[in-house]
Amino acid sequence: MSRSFRAELVKLVRRPAAWLLLAITLALSLIFTYLFPYAGVAGGADGPNTDRALPAMLPDHLVGNSLGGLPVFLGAILLILGVLVVGGEYGWGTWKTLLTQGPTRLQVYAGKVLALAVAALAVVVAVFAVGAVASALIASAEAQPVRWPSAADLLAGVGAGWLIATMWAMLGAVLAVTLRAVALPVGLGLVWMLAVQNLLAAIAAPLVDWVATAQRGLPGPNAGALAAALGAPGDTPGVAATVGGGQATVVVAAYLVGFAAVGAALLRRRDID
């Protein structure tokens, strides 16, 4: 398995699309967490999100600010990465090339899962790092005190971020195995994350009790609740304390394991065309 993991890591690092996704992730995080809010503060604008004032952009809010995008927008990018890593083998027809070299399907799949987990950690750490630089610059520009979160809070934040990011990447992986493609899993995954989840939360849940109850077991709301529990701003799309942090952690971890296991079972069972 370690050979497969190393091979998958090399493929991921050499793949231009992976770097493009990382760049988009960091740009989105920077723009929506710091750039626009800071522009609003600097310009003295009034609006629906003006409660996110200067103190919310300072280093002591680094953990919450870094996690805010993961339940929806940054999570969607991780889902795309998961689809690319697994679905690319279907798109290029390279499963047969890999498997005729001798590794079993599960060895290759485990290598991919581990590579995605490492990539998710790298993305989350990069988001924290960019956020740290941005918040420090804002604090410096506004002559505000720089107070960093404790190491334990940072560690918990990175851990929670990794859990959410890896879960979305695994959803991408299982969709790719299920649909044996790239485009359709990306499309369906994004529709779920960006449209259906929001419709359920904003329209269906307030009207129908069982939808509101079901929400508490879905991956998106639990990811949002986990981010909220660690200080993500409540006005961020997808972030809401619908359940407690402990339950959210367990549910997100269960989805992560479940998605990975279903993908492995399907890949092992099906023919490679």
Partner 1 sequence: MNLPVQTEGLSKRYGGLTAVRDLDLTVRPGEVYGFLGPNGAGKTTTLRMLLGLVRPSAGTVRLFGRTPGAGRLAGVGALIEGPAFYPYLSGRENLRVLARYTGVGADRVALVLDLVDLADRAGDRYSGYSLGMKQRLGVAAALLKDPRLLILDEPTNGLDPAGMADMRTLIRRLGAAGCTVVVSSHLLGEVEQVCDRVGVIARGRLVAEGSVAELRGGAGLRLLADPLDEAAARARELVGADRVRVVDGGLELAVEPDRAAWLNTELVGAGLAVRELRPRERDLEQVFFDLVERGTADVA
Residues near partner 1 (CB under 8 A) are: 3-4, 6-7, 10-11, 14-16, 88, 92-104, 107-108, 271-272
Residue 204, H or E segment:
none
Nearer to partner 1, 11 or 216 (CB): 11
Nearer to partner 1, 3 or 147 (CB): 3
CB of 169 to partner 1, least distance (A): 19
CB of 8 to partner 1, least distance (A): 9
Nearer to partner 1, 18 or 70 (CB): 18
Q: Can you tell me the distance from the alpha carbon of 208 to that of 168, in angstroms, rounded to the nearest whole number?
A: 27
Smallest distance, Å, CB 100 to partner 1?
Answer: 4
Nearest-approach distance from CB 216 to partner 1, in angstroms:
40
Residue with Cβ nearer partner 1 (116 or 160) = 116
CB of 272: closest distance to partner 1 in angstroms?
4
Nearer to partner 1, 96 or 147 (CB): 96
User: Which one, 19 or 206, has the nearer CB to partner 1?
Assistant: 19
| 167: Cα separation from own chain's centroid | 7
Closest CB 12 distance from partner 1, rounded Å: 11
Question: What angle do the packed helices 105-141 and 2-14 form, to 10 degrees?
Answer: 50
